Structure 1
Amino acid sequence: MVSHSTVERAQRLTQLHAQHKPLVLPTVWDVWSARTAVASGYPALTVGSHPLADSRGADDNEGQTFEEVLAAVKPIIAAVDVPVSVDLEAGYGQRPADLVAGLIEVGGVGLNIEDTVHSEGGRVRSTQEHASYVAGLRTAADDAGVPVWVNGRTDLFMHAQDASAVLDEAIERLRALEEAGADSLYPVGIQDADDLLTAVVGAVTVPVNATAHPVRHDLERFRRLGVGRITYGPLLQFAMADAMKDMLKRWAP
């Protein structure tokens, strides 16, 4: 039985994407970071696979099982009263219906899904395979009665030696994900390339997600480029580690 609060949080996450241009979702990894972000005024959060893994002494790229991820994010979601999305990497070998069911069970109302299948040697799903997986997630969420926000990610730019050379292929893939039911699209690795971001934003009709550094990047630049959603990936945790090192080294032996 899906709780009413989970449905309400999912609906709220959809509303927030419409209200904020862009919507900034701090990428958190534990109860403390989640509560700190909410106390700073943010209306929604995302849990990142990389910082979550680092906080638990595990490897990113599906170095944890789906069950371990759910057990780790459950107390995070329970500790805050805002919608929480979860980075579920390539799905941990789960069927779309099982992935959505597990997410909803712990109160998650959004997810990232990428096309690099780390559990299978790091292969990249084909455009149609990735779109079919996203379509399965959309169907499972609809069947469950929860409007889970699906952030369809592609790593094509990140894997390419020349990101501009794969622009057309990436756009084709992103359009296929949109058609399959993705609510937003996440082309990883082009956050510093104005021309590529502009091309992607202009090619689709749903919000485009960009990775951002909380200190080095400019929010107004992303807004000007039409980016609809911002997450930090591991960069917020990295920035905090840098600040912590600066403080600690003052008294280091």
Structure 2
Amino acid sequence: MTTLSEKAAAFLELHRPGDPVILPTVWDAWSARLVEQAGFAGVTVGSHPLADSLGRSDGEGMSFAEALGRVREITAAVQIPVSLDIESGYGLEPKQLVDGLIEAGVVGLNIEDTVHSEGGRLREAQEHADFVGALRRSADDAGVHLVVNARTDLFLRGIGADADRLDRAVARLRLAAEAGADVLYPVGFHDPETLRRLCDELPLPVNAVAFPEEGDRGALAAAGVARVSFGPFLQRALTGTATELLERWR
């Protein structure tokens, strides 16, 4: 039987710049099984679609306990690696987060720098790196190398001047890399030149977000991306299709 530690190591090896692993973003056991049956190597559990499925709002409108309750159902339903978006940590200590993830059978996490429990402030760059470092140490102490995907919301939220935003994002994510991140996530939709620069200038594999109905794996690979997820957009696309079907019966 594959141990959680072995599964985490195998998950990390999937992240290859220029040959990105596609990790469709799911929200329950049904959607995770759908992805596994389609032949994908892993899944991400997104906070936005997960919160929607629970009748909660994104931005830590659900609790960590609620998220873990659903993710346990997912890890029990599929054999492929599961990574969970833990938003900004729900106001919990890193050890609490890591212990909960490991108990639930999760092998990776996203951690963002918007602190929802404190009015949506952005963590300072070193503060975010320190949180990443504490997550890494807690995982190492537990004997499971959780794949830490360190995210910054500088682009998503349009924080600061446009002229130096890329440089600030790179500096911020480099600190996270030094602290023990495995993957870096400058979340947002970037033009090809910006994405290529991010992949060139960042020292670790880069996660990009894509629309499942429009994204181009080849273009993302050419830019140097190592990981692709869908955020809330797979659920949103399926919602559109379901709405069309239901309209026929109104």
Q: Is the shorter-chain TM-score for this pair beyond 0.5, marking a shared fold?
A: yes
The equivalent residue for 2:179 is 180
| 3-state DSSP of counterpart to 1:76 | helix
Q: Deviations over 1:117-166 (max 9, x none)?
A: 01110000000000000000111111111010000000011121664541
Greater displacement, 206-215 / 196-205: 196-205
The equivalent residue for 1:167 is 166
Structure 1 distance, partners of 2:32, 2:78, is: 7
| 3-state DSSP of counterpart to 1:17 | coil
TM-score (norm 1): 0.94
Q: Do the aligned partners of 1:164 and 1:196 also contact (CA within 8 Å) in 2? A: no
| 3-state DSSP of counterpart to 2:231 | coil
Structure 2 distance, partners of 1:4, 1:218, is: 33
| 3-state DSSP of counterpart to 1:52 | helix
Q: Deviations over 1:55-103 (max 9, x none)?
A: 1100110011111111121111111001100000000011111111110
Structure 2 unpaired stretches of 5+: none
Q: Do the aligned partners of 1:24 and 1:229 also contact (CA within 8 Å) in 2? A: yes
Amino acid at match of 1:182: A
Which structure 2 residues correspond to residues 57-72 of structure 1 after superposition, within 5 A?
57-72=55-70
Amino acid at match of 1:183: D
Structure 2 distance, partners of 1:128, 1:145, is: 25
How far is the alpha carbon of 1:201 from its aligned partner? 0.7
1:195 aligns with 2:193: yes
| 3-state DSSP of counterpart to 1:94 | coil
Which structure 2 residues correspond to residues 24-173 of structure 1 after superposition, within 5 A?
24-160=22-158, 163-173=162-172
How far is the alpha carbon of 1:251 from its aligned partner? 2.7
Aligned-residue RMSD, C-alpha: 1.6
Q: Do the aligned partners of 2:18 and 2:222 also contact (CA within 8 Å) in 1? A: no
Alignment: residue pair count: 249
| 3-state DSSP of counterpart to 1:175 | helix
| 3-state DSSP of counterpart to 2:109 | strand
Fraction of identical pairs, as percent: 50
| 3-state DSSP of counterpart to 1:24 | strand
Q: Do the aligned partners of 2:28 and 2:71 also contact (CA within 8 Å) in 1? A: yes
Structure 2 distance, partners of 1:34, 1:163, is: 37
Structure 2 distance, partners of 1:164, 1:215, is: 31
Q: Do the aligned partners of 2:85 and 2:111 also contact (CA within 8 Å) in 1? A: yes
1:6 aligns with 2:4: yes
Amino acid at match of 2:233: L
The equivalent residue for 1:245 is 243
Classify 1:128/1:210 alpha carbon distance in 2 versus 1 (closer, same or farther; 3 Å).
same
How far is the alpha carbon of 1:193 from its aligned partner? 1.5
| Structure 1 ranges of 4+ moved more than 6 A | none
Amino acid at match of 2:170: I
Alignment counterpart, residue 229 of structure 2, candidates 215, 228, 231: 231
How far is the alpha carbon of 1:18 from its aligned partner? 4.0
| 3-state DSSP of counterpart to 1:150 | strand
Structure 1 distance, partners of 2:106, 2:17, is: 20
Structure 1 unpaired stretches of 5+: none
TM-score (norm 2): 0.95
Structure 1 distance, partners of 2:41, 2:140, is: 24
Q: Which has the higher contact order (CA 8 A, sep 6+)?
A: 2
Greater displacement, 110-119 / 4-13: 4-13
Amino acid at match of 2:178: E
